[in-house]
Amino acid sequence: MKTWVAVVNRCEARLYETNQKNGVFDKKLKLIKKLENPRGRLKSGEINADRPGVATLSFAYSRTRLVKKQDPTDRVAQIFAKTISEELDRGVNDHLFENLILVSEPHFLGKVRAALSKKTASAISETLHKDLAHVPDHDLPQFIWPQQHQQEVEIRL
């Protein structure tokens, strides 16, 4: 059974493919796509820093309606989450995988999950609330499946 593993944060997304037989995942993760979001590294003041500030008030029947402004870094993260979800939606619609494992820090994971279609969301078999984007490809399996990795170490001893 083909499984995709999406290791994402607000700056990058790496999509891997692996196979699962009898509940055990293949040790190798094959990188199939990498998406980058350099704007994800920027601070709020650096996003749209060349634009003058704009304040708007909206009046309705002589009442002021206050609208909460979205933080620029949250907006950039939300746009990237949408890009990631579109790629995952394409994969599930093209039958490239049956199961999906999402790996991300909790705040960004919520943005990605909110952007997914129902079909893709139903393909999620596991979620891991960790930011593993900094972990090299060859070390990812021991963080994603620590029990399986521990069993292999014990067998070698």
Domain presence at residue 44: no
Domain presence at residue 81: yes
With CA atoms as reference, report the closest residue to 77 among 47, 52, 118, 55. Answer: 47
Domain presence at residue 124: yes
What is the Cα–Cα distance from 69 to 83, expressed in whole angstroms?
Answer: 22
Residue 156: pLDDT band with limits 50, 70, 90: very low
Of 94-98, 119-123, 147-151, where does mean pLDDT reach its minimum? 147-151
Domain presence at residue 48: no
Task: Identify the three-state secondary structure at position 118.
Answer: helix
The tokens of 20 are what? 């699962």
Residue 116: pLDDT band with limits 50, 70, 90: very high
Domain residues for the domain of 75 are 2-38+68-156
With CA atoms as reference, report the closest residue to 41 among 13, 9, 86. Answer: 9
| Contacts of 77 by beta carbon, 8 Å cutoff, 6+ apart | 10, 40, 108, 111
Q: Are 15 and 137 in contact (CB under 8 A)?
A: no
Give the domain CATH number at 14: 3.30.420.60
Q: How many domains does the chain have?
A: 1
E strand or H helix that includes residue 88: helix 72-93
Domain presence at residue 87: yes
Residue 154: pLDDT band with limits 50, 70, 90: very low
Domain presence at residue 101: yes
The reply to whether the predicted model has a pTM over 0.85 is: no
Q: Are 13 and 84 in contact (CB under 8 A)?
A: yes
| Contacts of 7 by beta carbon, 8 Å cutoff, 6+ apart | 13, 14, 16, 103, 104, 132, 133, 135, 140
pLDDT at 152: 47
